[in-house]
Amino acid sequence: MSASGALPETVEQLSATARQIRQDVLRMTYRAGSGHLGGSLSTADLLVALVFHELRIDPGNPGWPDRDRLVLSKGHAAPALYSALARRGFLDAQVLPTLREEGSPLQGQVDHRTLPAVEASTGSSGQGLGMAVGMALDARLAKRPSRVYAVVGDGECRAGTTWEALMAGGQYALDNLVVLVDRNGRETDGGKENAPGIEPLAEKFRAFRYSTLEIDGHDFPAILGALGQARKTKGQPTAIIARTVLGQGVSFMENQPAWRERSPNREETERGLAELGGSL
Amino acid sequence: MLARTSGSLGEAYGQALAELGERDPALVVLDSDLPGSARAGPFGQRFPERFLRIGVMEPTMMSIASGLALGGRTVFVSGFAVFVAGEAYGAVRLSVCYNRANVKIVATHAGLLVGGDGAPYQMLEDIALMRSLPGMTVVVPGDAPTTRAATFAVASFDGPAYLRLTRENLPIVTDGSFTLGRATRLREGSDLTVVAVGAMLARALDVAEELHQAGVEARVLDFASIKPADEKALIQAARDTGAILTMEEHNVLTGLGNLVASAISTTHPVPVRQVGVPDLFGESGNPWTLLDHYGLSQKRALDEAWELLKIRGKVS
């Protein structure tokens, strides 16, 4: 786990970075014995696209007021964000193995108090999205160019607070706000199929006045294209519904609900890392 | 009862808020209700671009406030107590307090004095909920001048705060010399101490006056600064007067009385009697009659005071 801070610009480089981050996530959750592996792997490509391409951020000046903000509303995908921030140069990669340990800055849910590079402490459904709406309003009022990106889980899309926050984003026509839905179709207790009631998701977003795009959340050209389109959209916020696969990148974890919560044992970790071109 | 002029806590807050908006061009106000109800109107008229009528979504209003505050602003959020402290508790806890966001929550319509709308709107548990949150400051003003001072006081530091207001006009009993973390002595006495907050503060002074007529001198402490709490003043009161009566318009299990008893128990335990709402929900009715009905009457407080004086052997 070495932090380079380099900014890969090509799709190949982004893919390679995503593989590194998936390796980190496997190692971290193996070591910690817990840590929402499946949902971290499904979100990894979205986070890589944001942290290594889309966001105007500077590891040398993390508090830059005009920076773009990333709020991980699905705070349990913390391992993926920690790894991305480390590899982008916002924190020391040496700390990654301390995930979920007492005294570690790497709390189980992303934490602003212990890790200022994280924009907001989240973990309760819908709250990160509400905070992102507040940040987008703040930037608009201050006439700052900052854009705000909220990554939400599809399980969160059942929570009333998510829809409150979405309504506010639409009401204030926040075109500096982009909501990315990690649509892996697996809620904690769901398991079998996409949870009923959430669909039709795109229609709901459109009714809430969002420019709404549906993409494959593991296809970098598609992700970058949607983010680019969001940047050009004026007068309304953008929602990107990214269809993803729980456990993406490790064949025996893909679409297996058990991997939402459980952590890999040593053998599984080694096997998964081998698939990703890494090792323990 | 003493003859006094009364004032609106909500209007005092609204006026102070408009002045704060003048001083701090980054200050933003979020409101979940009509400005007329929540009293942020004067600010909204003067600074419409910084006054966001979020509407009835109090939990998310707290998250939005936190997002605004994390950018470096002071954010005031107002709404009915039952919604901003009850409905929105989870968001106050995580979005505001855990993120150490500079959000000031101003709860209007607290307590039984809501009157007609009854139990669903009569918030009697908010002091407990807000006081339990790490990093939260809690203020319960007893009149309009203290409300004004408290509004400026909570705006003066970086961090979350909860200001609990009453809809009914309350008698003006202080000069507004409020300091966070300090209890204010409104009356001197050595036989007994009455500690009170909110609407019960004027009643506490009436009780003290009645005791005075009977030859007993009661100290009265305005404990508007619930958190940080002035424990020194409580211990001093226990030492000097040997008995404490508490008065609050809140569930008696988890409010001021509890705080007072706990604060003195280690260092200088003395008998404490608590006048507050029993462990019950409220109901519809005339605001002031409801207070009496729920055991917050002046007579009831006086009876408790005499019981304390008997226990201490000061009367027979």
Tens of pLDDT, residues A63-82: 999 999 999 999 999 999 99
Same CATH topology for B6-171 and B184-310?
Answer: yes
Q: Residue B57 has what DSSP assignment?
A: -
In this structure, the number of other CB atoms found within 10 A of the CB of residue A229 comes to 14
Give the pLDDT mean for A93-114: 94
Give the C-alpha separation, A81 to A269, whole Å: 19
The fold for domain B184-310 equals: Rossmann fold (3.40.50)
Please report, for chain A, the start and end positions of each structural domain, with discontinuous segments joined by +. Answer: 11-275
For the residues of chain A, what is the DSSP string, one character each?
---------SHHHHHHHHHHHHHHHHHHHHHHS-S-HHHHHHHHHHHHHIIIII----TTSTT-TT--EEEESSGGGHHHHHHHHHHTTSS-GGGGGGTT-TT-S--SS--TTT-TTSS----STTHHHHHHHHHHHHHHHTT----EEEEEETGGGGSHHHHHHHHHHHHTT-TTEEEEEEE----TTT-SSSPTTT-SHHHHHHHTT-EEEEEETT-HHHHHHHHHHHHH--SS-EEEEEE--TTTTSTTTTT-GGGGT----HHHHHHHHHHTT---
Task: Enter the tokens of residue B215.
Answer: 């030859």
B57, B66, B94 ranked by CB distance to A164: nearest: B57
Buried residues in B168-196 as b, exposed as e (16+ CB within 10 A): bbbbbbbebebebebbbebbebebbbbbb
Q: pLDDT class for A188, splitting at 50, 70, 90?
A: very low
Element (H, E) at B298: helix B298-311
Please report, for chain B, the start and end positions of each structural domain, with discontinuous segments joined by +. Answer: 6-171, 184-310
Q: Give the mutation candidate from A111, A118, A119, A164 for the B interface (greatest B CB count, under 10 A).
A: A164
Q: What is chain B's pLDDT, residue by residue, as a tens digit (316 residues)?
A: 567 899 999 999 999 999 999 999 999 999 987 555 557 788 999 999 999 989 889 999 999 999 999 999 999 999 999 999 999 999 999 999 999 999 999 999 999 999 999 999 999 999 999 999 999 999 999 999 999 999 999 999 999 999 999 999 999 999 999 999 999 999 999 999 999 999 999 999 999 999 999 999 999 999 999 999 999 999 999 999 999 999 999 999 999 999 999 999 999 999 999 999 999 999 999 999 999 999 999 999 999 999 999 999 988 8
User: What are the phi and psi torsion angles at A144 (to 5°)?
Assistant: -95, 150
Nearest to B243 by CA among B302, B190, B186: B190
Which is the catalytic residue, given B19, B58, B209, B231?
Answer: B58
Contact across the interface for B63 and A142, Cβ inside 8 Å: no
Q: Give yes or no for residue A45 having a pLDDT over 50.
A: yes
Q: Does domain B6-171 have CATH number 3.90.470.20?
A: no
Task: Enter the tokens of residue A31.
Answer: 């070591």
Give the C-alpha separation, B304 to B297, whole Å: 11
The whole-number pLDDT of residue B146 equals 98
**Out of A113-122, A253-262, B60-69, B132-141, least confident range:** A253-262
Q: Which positions ≥6 away from B105 have C-beta within 8 Å?
A: B62, B77, B78, B84, B85, B92, B96, B130, B160, B161, B162, B163
For the residues of B124-141, what is the DSSP string, one character each?
-SHHHHHHTSTT-EEE--
Give the C-alpha separation, B289 to B310, whole Å: 29
Q: Give yes or no for residue A193 having a pLDDT over 90.
A: no
Task: Enter the tokens of residue A89.
Answer: 């140069």
Cβ atoms of A214 and A11 within 8 Å: the answer is no
Whether residue B58 lies in the annotated active site: yes
Q: pLDDT class for A9, splitting at 50, 70, 90?
A: low
Site of tokens 């009356």:
B187
The whole-number pLDDT of residue A257 equals 84
Handedness of CA B166, B171, B177, B179 (dihedral sign): negative
CA distances from B98 to A161, A162, B94, B176, B229 (A): 18, 19, 5, 31, 21
Give the C-alpha separation, B68 to B46, whole Å: 20
Residue type, position B181, single letter: G
This model of the complex carries an ipTM of 0.94
Task: Kindly state the percentage of chain A with pLDDT values over 90.
Answer: 84
Give the C-alpha separation, A15 to A82, whole Å: 17
The whole-number pLDDT of residue B32 equals 86
Question: How close does chain B come to A254, measured CA to CA in Å?
Answer: 32
Contact across the interface for B70 and A123, Cβ inside 8 Å: no
The whole-number pLDDT of residue A180 equals 98
Q: pLDDT class for A256, splitting at 50, 70, 90?
A: confident
Q: Which positions ≥6 away from B142 have C-beta within 8 Å?
A: B170, B173, B174, B196, B197, B198, B199, B200, B201, B202, B222, B224
CA distances from B179 to A123, B128, B174, B245, B313 (A): 36, 21, 12, 22, 35
The whole-number pLDDT of residue A187 equals 56
Site of tokens 């090509």:
A10
Q: Give yes or no for residue A1 having a pLDDT over 50.
A: no
Q: Give yes or no for residue A259 having a pLDDT over 90.
A: no
CATH code for A11-275? 3.40.50.970
Task: Enter the tokens of residue A45.
Answer: 């490509």
The whole-number pLDDT of residue B203 equals 97
Give the pLDDT mean for A187-203: 68
Site of tokens 């949607």:
A226
How many beta-carbon contacts under 8 Å exist across A and B? 100
Q: Which chain A residues are Cβ-neighbours of B70 within 8 angstroms?
A: 112, 119-120, 131, 134-135, 138
Based on the number of CB atoms within 10 Å of its own CB, is A202 exposed (0-12), middle (13-18) or buried (19 or more)?
Answer: middle
Contact across the interface for A131 and B100, Cβ inside 8 Å: no
Contact across the interface for B59 and A130, Cβ inside 8 Å: yes
A132: contact with B, CB 8 A cutoff: yes
CA dihedral in degrees (B183, B188, B193, B197; nearest 10)? -40
Q: Which chain B residues are Cβ-neighbours of A140 within 8 angstroms?
A: none
pLDDT digits (tens, 9 = 90+) for A157-175: 999 999 999 999 999 999 9
CA distances from B129 to B91, B142, B276 (A): 12, 20, 16
Q: Give yes or no for residue A195 having a pLDDT over 70.
A: no
Question: How close does chain B come to A155, measured CA to CA in Å?
Answer: 17
Cβ atoms of B142 and B198 within 8 Å: the answer is yes
